[in-house]
Amino acid sequence: MAGTGVPPINIEGTADWSSLSRMMNSKGIQFSKARTAGTSVKVFTNTPADYRQLVELLESIKRPFFTYQLKEDRMDQRVIRGLPREMSVNDIKEDLVSQGIADAEVQQMTSRTTKKPLPLFLVKTKMPEKLAEIQRLAMLTVGFERKKKSSEPSQCYRCQRYGHTQRNCSLAERCVKCGEDHNSTSCSLPAPLTGQRNAKCCLCGEGHPANYKGCSKAPKKAASAPKAVPTTNRTSYAQKAKKPMSTSAPAAATATGTTAQKQHGDDRLLAMMQAIITRLDALEAKMQDKH
């Protein structure tokens, strides 16, 4: 976002950049920088107003591009719990609007594996605070939960490329099943594709759908660093007994009697410690025999 908080716009094609940039200049569209990115030009506009103006220009001349949503346009997403699976999306939206959520967008969630509808509904709104005040829909007690962010990389349902979504894409449509230039919903291939036999990926050309996670063009998850396992250095009583005890000679004393008394005390202490270690080793051996 080049420090402006405004997302870049990726304009497909580089050959006519000179004429396009002059057109942008004539419209008063300001941008901080532009750089090539493969077959496209990535433009960083200065303000949200410049961003909107450039999007409008590209749409008017039917120029393929993709971008990302402005922060001010992003909608909060909440999952509605407590409604029956058979509930009408239109009825939910009407109820939300009647309770003050005028911009509510509602859709029913489906299972990732079976694709069957779930008793869960996703609502998008810029009024999350007001949404939190609602306790009932269709006279049923409901709860709202923040939608968890997916760990999977975003993939556009329109062009099948990774890194952006269908909402902000005007690139050429490509079918997720056969790879041809048409919308996936109008494809004649059955879904799911039996054995993937007729599928063709528009990203790599192999015989699988474009949303196949094992595709060579799919982003790879970064390998997480292995967690360090703490280790403890444990020494058995027997090992301790084998270690030579420190018997460094005491410093020279002025009186011979004092030195002798200190040596005698050290010998007694050493003997006691060795006796304790011997008993502990015996106890440890006895406990191991029981197990």
Proportion of the chain above pLDDT 90, given as a percent = 60
- Cβ atoms 167, 174 nearer than 8 A: no
This prediction's pTM: 0.65
Contact predicate 218/162, CB 8 Å: yes
Mean of per-residue pLDDT scores for the chain: 85
The tokens describing 277, both together, are 């270690």
- Specify the range with the lowest mean pLDDT, choosing from 7-16, 59-68, 69-78, 260-269: 260-269
Q: Which DSSP letter does residue 138 get?
A: T
pLDDT at 4: 66
pLDDT band, residue 153 (cuts 50/70/90): confident
| pLDDT at residue 107 greater than cutoff 90 | yes
Fold of 75-146: Alpha-Beta Plaits (3.30.70)
Question: Is the pLDDT confidence value at 246 over 80?
Answer: no
- Least trusted range by pLDDT, from 3-12, 122-131, 202-211, 250-259: 250-259
pLDDT at position 253 over 50: no
Picking from 108, 114, 65, the residue whose alpha carbon sits closest to that of residue 83 is 108
Mean pLDDT over 75-83 rounds to 96
Give the whole-angstrom CA distance, residue 274 versus residue 181.
86
Structure tokens at 290: 């029981």
Write down the architecture of domain 152-219 according to CATH: Irregular (4.10)
Instruction: Tell which residue, 218, 220, 219, has the closest CA to residue 176.
Output: 218
Three-state DSSP class for 88? coil
| pLDDT band per the 50, 70, 90 thresholds, residue 152 | confident
Widest CA span in the chain:
109
Backbone angles phi, psi at 124, to 5 degrees: -115, 135
The domain segmentation of the chain, as residue ranges, is: 9-70, 75-146, 152-219
Contacts with 145 (C-beta within 8 Å, 6 or more apart), sequence order: 78, 79, 81
Look at residue 41 and tell me whether its pLDDT is greater than 80. yes
On the question of pLDDT at 228 being above 90, the answer is: no
Give yes or no for a contact between 120 and 108, defined as CB atoms under 8 angstroms apart.
Answer: yes
Q: Measured on CA atoms in the order 143, 97, 72, 59, is the torsion positive or negative?
A: positive
Q: Which pLDDT band, with edges at 50, 70 and 90, does 5 fall under? A: confident
User: What letter represents residue 271's amino acid?
Assistant: A
pLDDT at 84 over 60: yes
Distance, in Å, from the CA atom of 62 to the CA atom of 264, rounded to the nearest integer, reads: 101
Between 184 and 169, the more confident residue is: 169
Strands (E), 115-252: 117-125, 136-137, 140-141, 143-146
Confidence of residue 43 (pLDDT cuts 50, 70, 90): very high
> Does 75-146 match 152-219 in CATH topology?
no
Do 144 and 132 form a contact (C-beta atoms < 8 A)?
Answer: yes
